[in-house]
Structure 1
Amino acid sequence: MTKNPGKAPSEKNNSGRGQRDLTIKVKTARGRKLSSTLWLQRQLNDPYVKKANTMGYRGRAAFKILELDDKYGFLVSGARIVDLGCAPGGWCQVAARRVNALGDRSGRKIGRVLGIDLQEMEPIAGCELHQLDFMAEGADEQVKEWLDGRADVVMSDMAASSSGHKQTDHLRIIALCDAAAHFAFDVLEPGGTFVAKVLAGGAEGDLQRLLKLKFTKVVNVKPPASRADSSEKFVVATGFRG
């Protein structure tokens, strides 16, 4: 049967009537800024947000670490993971399942997931959550004590509070990522992995050079779950030299 070239298949349903636009529109409410209204509308129409709700993840960011691990394979059964700035906990949830922190009867090695954040969090199955400033003096030793050793992976999806000024925000997140990297140097096992969010913008060059000295391989990637209009990317550094 020849298709009608004048109308794309997505523009019609089986009855021949045009499909309704299923995009949710949010009306501006009194006291709510336009930017907040647009953010809410984007959230309600984001397929990753909907998928996270369906699968029980605490946020769409869970799919970023899923996609990164699918590509680079650092969340292996039995691994010891430290998640810095872990709230709301999506990355911890993914890590707990992939390193087998929940345990099973398959005989796989049981891993550990240690979540660190400034704020108190609701428990997550298979995870050990601690309220701690990772930049505080002695934080690295405290984490190693909790782990009874060193970590195989240090990961961070942290972002500094937005100032509304693009360059300022870029510098803040690079400084945060730099602090996370130095923390990783103190707690990682040789051969370990560091994964962190950065923002493209030019100031990350020094951090990249440092990571290349400390790890055998350093790559930068923007997973599909990162919004197209976001300047975020992730650095994945593998093979810590110790």
Structure 2
Amino acid sequence: MTDGKKKTPGASSGNTSGRGQRDLKVRVKTAKGRKLSSKLWLERQLNDPYVVRAKREGYRGRAAYKILEIDERFRFLVPGARVVDLGCAPGGWCQVAVPRINALGEKKGKAQGRIIGVDLQEVDAIAGVELHQLDFMEDDADEKVKAWLGGQADVVMSDMAAASSGHRGTDHLRIIALCEAAAQLAFDVLEPGGTFVAKVLAGGAENDLQAQLKRNFTKVVHMKPPASRQDSSEKFVIATGFRGRRDAAGEDGEEQDEG
């Protein structure tokens, strides 16, 4: 039960009359054995309004707000949608999708959607989500996904990132390779008109990926959602209007960049 007043994440409710605004930033003391990088990471987490909000609203991580903000603009998570979430751990994107696609059937008079979450590791159960441990790069992964889903998908989405090497160029190439693999699976499982959403890193090595997406979708857009940290080079590609797999060069789709 709340008092009906909406609070801003990170806001203070104490009495500051006559004392001015207090600095509420959390600072982490240096502990024996803790590296400076770990200290700075922990401080950033504790002071991140999206982390605070995720804990308050029951999401498994701040990344949930990225897909929420993307969907606010593009509206592909709709009642009745059949969704595949690749690399779904810890499950925040699935949590956002469940009520939007009506996976639990709670919206009477609306079509009930389905969501398949796939990851290499085991993921704790999420109501309304069918979770599977699978390497989506396996040769028959697309057939398995379609069998679990009972047909084609309307949305394939991915927030996957390869383990950081500490070298920006290497990390960029790794995440582009992951995104290309996710796109190939999407080409095999999407229904015509479907949507593909995936994380990429700005870095200039994604020309082949863009060419593939433009051949297979009517519109390709890049977006950096507000929940994406400003000091991060990550952005998301949103490809809509799946045409059906087109491996050969053909008519290009429309490509845009959005903030």
Question: Scaled by the length of structure 2, what TM-score is found?
Answer: 0.87
RMSD: 0.9
Counterpart residue type for residue 30 of structure 1: K
Q: Number of residues paired by the alignment? A: 230
Q: CA deviation at 1:18?
A: 2.2
Contact persistence 2:156–2:195 (CA under 8 A): yes
2:214 corresponds to which of 193, 212, 215? 212
The CA deviation string for residues 12-42 of structure 1, in whole angstroms up to 9 with x for no partner, is: x862222221000011211111111101100
Q: What does residue 76 of structure 2 align with?
A: 74
Q: What does residue 31 of structure 2 align with?
A: 29
The CA deviation string for residues 54-99 of structure 1, in whole angstroms up to 9 with x for no partner, is: 1100000000000000000000100000000000000000111100
**Percent identity between the two aligned chains:** 75
**What aligned pairs does 1:1-242 form with structure 2 within 5 A after superposition?**
15-104=17-106, 106-242=108-244
SS in 1 for 2:160: coil
Contact persistence 2:16–2:22 (CA under 8 A): no
CA change 1:187–1:23 in 2 (3 A) is: same
CA change 1:104–1:141 in 2 (3 A) is: same
User: What is the CA–CA distance in structure 2 between the aligned matches of 1:20 and 1:141, rounded to whole Å?
Assistant: 57
User: What is the CA–CA distance in structure 1 between the aligned matches of 2:117 and 2:17, rounded to whole Å?
Assistant: 52
Q: CA deviation at 1:105?
A: 5.1
